[in-house]
Amino acid sequence: MKTVLNFTIVILIVCLSSFKAGREVYPEQLDWDTHFRGEPDSHSAYAALTVTTWHYSYTSKIRDGHLSIDFKFAAGVDPTRSWVKRDRISNRKTSRQLLNHEQGHVYINFLLLKVGEIQIPSQKYTTSNYKRLIVQTANRISDYYSAMQDRYDDETKHGSDLEAQARWDDFLRSELNKYS
């Protein structure tokens, strides 16, 4: 239990430090030096990897049969596990294109955060179903955005298909505008 708690605290600290503090949360804007400090995977065919995190927690109280739940959500980039193979970046244009693709992963993770913040607290919970329903809803949302991350990489060929990347850029910009 202590290990799980320590892991949760570490993830929460990383997540909270990854997005701007304050009432409004915005997706972090990546840069190579700040966000890609991990050791590159020499066996990977890819030039970069962005590791994103999402975390939710809650506290619940039941008094006189009345349930109250307080939720907390966090998301961000784990710079210690994100990496770039700098030798694969030959010029500024390549750097901008690759960083733009990696930024798309951050945007998808931000959408996960925002949808989680809206959908999880808005469920109709009872004292007998809230634990199960919270987990089910969080897993459903997480699975959806995990599949979106995979589709994003597949359709853009990890950023190398510039037309597909432009379509995804437009889609993500449109989705992000819903939360601004």
- Tokens 């193979």 belong to residue: 85
Residue pLDDT, tens place only, 158-168: 999 999 999 99
Over the chain, what HEC string results?
CHHHHHHHHHHHHHHHHHCCCCCCCCCCCCCHHHHCCCCCCCCCCCCEECCEEEEEEEEEEEECCEEEEEEEEEEEECCCCCEECHHHCCCHHHHHHHHHHHHHHHHHHHHHHHHHHHHCCCCCCCCCCHHHHHHHHHHHHHHHHHHHHHHHHHHHCCCCCHHHHHHHHHHHHHHHHCCC
What does the pLDDT average to over 96-113? Answer: 98
pLDDT at residue 24, rounded to an integer: 57
As beta bridge partners, residue 56 has 73
Question: Structure pTM?
Answer: 0.85
Give yes or no for residue 8 having a pLDDT over 80: no
pLDDT digits (tens, 9 = 90+) for 123-150: 999 999 999 999 999 999 999 999 999 9
